Amino acid sequence: MPELKLQFDVKETSKVTLEKKIKRGKESWGFIYFVFGILLALSLFLISIPPISWSYKVIIFIVVLLLLIYLCLFSTWFQNKLIGLKIKLEETWRKI
């Protein structure tokens, strides 16, 4: 549910600040965690296939893990794309 915050600051010059925050529900976070788990498992599977040293595989996995943590848990743009995908999938299943 979007939460709007309006702040007035009256000094020598008048300034109005508008801030928008989105609170995600349990269902949205559940879907984001689900996608995070699927992407993590898929990346682990793909990293294990090439015949390279296990130390390189660990380094690659740590980089991929950090990237997925950033995308799924901290990037609001990516979270919005995931929620958009969820809504699109739900609408598709309702039509069937």
| Ranges 12-16, 38-42, 67-71, 82-86: which has the least confidence | 12-16
Mean pLDDT of the chain: 85
19-44: string of b/e by CB count within 10 Å (b at 16+)?
eeeeeeeeebeebbeebbeeebeebe
Calpha distance 63→61 (Å, rounded):
5
CB atoms within 10 A of CB 79: 20
pLDDT digits (tens, 9 = 90+) for 4-33: 566 655 566 666 677 666 667 788 899 999
Q: Does 95 score more than 70 pLDDT?
A: yes
Averaged pLDDT, 82-90: 91
| pTM for the whole structure | 0.70
Q: Domain extents for the chain?
A: 25-95
For residue 52, which phi and psi values (nearest 5 degrees)?
Answer: -120, 170
Which amino acid type is present at position 81?
K
